[in-house]
Amino acid sequence: MNEKIRELMMQAGEYAKSVWVHPTEENYVSWHDLFNDKFVELIIKECAQVCRDQPDIYALKADRDNCAIAIENHFGVE
């Protein structure tokens, strides 16, 4: 498995562990749901950052930023 993926998984796990509370029936959110949501968010942000970090030979900065914003907006990530 890619080291970056492992790193994102660890971040998502730490996040889920830090916000998960013992559920009641009214507010049940599983640890796995918290982990999955955060993991997906981190992957999307990482993809958007790849766009932003491309050198000028591929595209102008404004175009790279627009691509990154389009990715984030498509998935509803801020």
Q: Tens digit of pLDDT for each residue in 29-58?
A: 888 999 999 999 999 999 999 888 988 877
Q: Residue 26: what pLDDT?
A: 67
- Is residue 20 scored above 90 in pLDDT? no
Total length of the chain = 78
d(CA 52, CA 61): 7
Q: Residue 68 belongs to what domain range?
A: 3-19+29-75
CB 46 within 8 A of CB 71: no
Q: What is the pLDDT of residue 27?
A: 66
DSSP letter, residue 77: -
Mean pLDDT of the chain: 88
Q: Is residue 39 part of a domain?
A: yes
Domain membership flag for residue 44: yes
Long-range contacts of 38-42 (CB under 8 A, 24+ apart): 38/11, 38/12, 39/8, 39/9, 39/12, 40/75, 41/77, 42/8, 42/11, 42/12
| Domains: count for the chain | 1
What pLDDT was estimated at residue 63?
86
